[in-house]
Amino acid sequence: LEENGQPFDPHFIINNAVSNIICSITFGERFDYQDDQFQELLRLLDEVLCIQASVCCQLYNAFPRIMHFLPGSHQTLFRKWEKLKMFVANVIENHKKDWNPAAARDFIDAYLQEIEKHKGDATSSFQDENLICSTLDLFLAGTETTSTTLRWGLLFMAMYPKIQEKVQAEIDRVLGQSQKVSTAARESMPYTNAVIHEVQRMGNIVPMNVPRELTEDTTLNGYRLVKGSMVLTNLTALHRDPAEWATPDTFNPEHFLENGQFKKRESFLPFSIGKRMCLGEQLLCCE
C-alpha cells in the first residue's frame, strides 16, 4: 500500500522483520525499523555478506597468508567485521550492567551465565570474544538465509497464482481473518506446509552446504579422505535428483503431499544433517 501499486524491492523490508526477530532472541528487544542503531547494524551485515562473495575474499579463503598482505575487498571486510564486533560488544556491556544470573532475558544473558559458571577454567570456550562471534553467527546465518527464503516464496507465489490461491484458501479456512498465526496450526495446513517445503527445495539457497573439515582420516565409497580436508555436500544434486522427485525442475508442492496430507521426504535436507546441521531449523520453520 505504501508503494501505491508501484514495483519495489522487498529485500530491506523483509530483512528488517527477520533481523528484528534475531534481535529479540539475542538482545532481548526489538528495534523500531527507523532506529539509527538498527539500520547501522543491518547496513553492516548486508555489506559484510555482499563483500564475502567478492573475488578477493574467495582468494583469501584459498591463500590467506599471501592475501593478508595484499589490498582488496577482503581488507574492507575485516574493517566492517570489527565494527560489527564493537556493536555487539557494546550491547553485551549494557547487559552486564543490569544482568540477573537467575533470570536470563535472552541469548546474551544465557551465555553470560555459562561464562560465570566456567570462571577459572582455562580450557573453557565460554568467553566474551566467543560470545561476540556466536551472536554475529546468529545474525549472519539466521538473517540472510531466512530473508532469501522468504523472497523466493514471494517469487514463486507470483509465478504460480493458482498455487497462491490454494494457499490463501487454506489460510482463510484454518485461521480466518482474526486468528493469530501459530505453529500449532501447521498440522491443519498440509498444503501450505508443502508449499513452504517446496520453496526451500527449489530455492536451494545453500547449494553446496557449508564447508566442513575432517577431524580424522576416513574412507568414503572407496575414496581416502585425509584429516584436515575440506568437504562440500552437493545439496543441489539431492534436491534435483529425478530418482527422488517426480518433477525435479518444476515448482510442485505435490512432492510433499500424499493423499492430501503432508509427507516428509528423506531426500529433503536444506538444513543439512547430523551433529553439525543448522541450529536455526526450528526457528526458520516458525518464522
Residue set of the binding site: 278
Contact 169, 195 (CB under 8 A): no
Q: DSSP 3-state assignment of 197? A: helix
Residue 132 to residues 13, 20, 87, 138, 163: CA-CA distances in angstroms?
Answer: 26, 18, 9, 10, 42
> Which three three-digit cell numbers place residue 68?
593478508
Q: DSSP 3-state assignment of 81? A: helix
- Spatial neighbors of 1 by CB under 8 A, at least 6 apart, are none
> Which three three-digit cell numbers place residue 266?
528423506
Q: Which of 204, 189, 209, 190 is nearest to 156 (CA)?
A: 204
Annotated binding-site residues for heme read 278
Q: Quick one: DSSP state of residue 146?
A: H
- Amino acid symbol at 196: I
Buried b (16+ CB within 10 A) or exposed e, 104-132: eebbbbebbbeeeeeeeeeeeebeeeebb
